[in-house]
Amino acid sequence: ELARGGGAARAKVDHGQASVEDVTGGAAIEASYGAIRLDRVGGTAELTVRHGSVEGRGLAQGARVRAAGGDVTLDGFSGPADVELERGNARLTPRAKLSAPLSVDVRHGEAELALPDGSGAAVQAESNRGEVRADVPGLGAADPRGRGHRLTGQVGGGGIAVTLRADGDVRISPRPASA
């Protein structure tokens, strides 16, 4: 466990949990057979986990996540998010309106985005075997394509690229923006 550190954090953990909090720089964490937990990271988070989950809160410069065998939850983040997940569900809740691209690709699981009000986004959402549901004004209904569904549209005049793909359901819901 790395806590309250200045600068950046780097760790590799096998068969255990990696926790980082209150670092001013970025975090580069690799883990297997355990979880990665991050709280209040000032730089970019580069995370890789096999057979485990990722939970990130307050990531100031976004995250790049490669995970398998567990859920990925990013809450209150800013900056770009790039998530590739196999066998799990991804839930993303940006802190404020989007300021950088967001990409989520989930194989054998679901993807969920709570889109902050005021975000200008060009959205592409696709489900191979589930449903695509968007309760955000400006996004049209999903277009059935065989067994899966697809949705494309713009919110707030477009702008930031948002791509969500999953084998299971894809959900986009509105969320009041924070300061």
Segment 43-62, tens digit of pLDDT: 999 999 999 999 999 999 99
Structure confidence by residue, pLDDT tens digits, 102-158? 999 999 999 999 999 989 999 999 999 999 999 887 775 445 444 468 888 899 888
What's the pTM value of the predicted model, to 2 decimals?
Answer: 0.91
Identify which of 30, 100, 50 has the alpha carbon closest to the alpha carbon of residue 20: 30
For residue 70, which amino acid is it?
A: G
- 3 state DSSP class of 135: coil
